[in-house]
A and B are shown apart, each in its own frame.
Chain A
Amino acid sequence: GESVGLHLPTLSVQEGDNSIINCAYSNSASDYFIWYKQESGKGPQFIIDIRSNMDKRQGQRVTVLLNKTVKHLSLQIAATQPGDSAVYFCAEKLNRDDKIIFGKGTRLHILP
């Protein structure tokens, strides 16, 4: 069945370093892979998405990489800042039914 999971539940990164958050997925039929950020006490916020026929997509300070061979997705955050402290979810979507299925999340801690 569909499932999206994460390798690490918690990641600690020094402020200013780059962060890499990983995600494994199992549904090869997904059309999009998406990253969301959830700050404490708030709802998730969309960060960036990547279509299944792409390998890489860049946004502002963020890059998403998709490796379909090993069914792996990663989110890279450049020059991590205190405001990046949050839980990050990967998610997947099939266009045919318009619903998004979320993984379990990784908590990113920023060390001063």
Chain B
Amino acid sequence: NAGVTQTPKFQVLKTGQSMTLQCAQDMNHEYMSWYRQDPGMGLRLIHYSVGAGITDQGEVPNGYNVSRSTTEDFPLRLLSAAPSQTSVYFCASSVLGGNGYTFGSGTRLTVV
């Protein structure tokens, strides 16, 4: 039981490049979400999903796309990276209605 797995752990992108941050969980959790963490800003919700085929926007969705084709996977796509997207990204999952999210170990993204 691996929990929540995020890849890659580190990534450097040039402005305008695109990439996908991967997130997978093996706990059969319906709920999955993406947060970004910046110094002094805490964790801010980007997108979330309550089940396969269902996604919704969080606090800071602009510049990011998500899809949820399976229960296990919830990738986050940056279509055209900007320096403002430099951050640490966390994926989390839980059962529906649960408060105890399981977080991945994060992806540190730098956009130059």
Contact = CB atoms under 8 A, between A and B. Distances in A.
Interface string B11-23: 0000000000000
Interface of B: 4, 31, 33, 35, 40-45, 48, 50, 56, 58-59, 90, 92, 96-97, 99-101, 103-106
A93 B106 CA distance: 22
Given A43-B90, A46-B101, A97-B56, 20 more contacts: A42-B106, A43-B103, A43-B105, A44-B90, A44-B101, A89-B42, A89-B43, A93-B99, A95-B97, A98-B31, A98-B48, A98-B50, A98-B96, A99-B56, A100-B45, A102-B42, A102-B43, A102-B45, A103-B42, A104-B40
B100 A44 contact: no
27 contacts: A9-B40, A32-B99, A34-B99, A36-B101, A42-B105, A42-B106, A43-B90, A43-B103, A43-B104, A44-B101, A46-B101, A49-B99, A89-B42, A89-B43, A93-B99, A95-B97, A98-B31, A98-B50, A98-B97, A99-B48, A100-B99, A101-B45, A102-B35, A102-B43, A102-B44, A102-B45, A103-B42
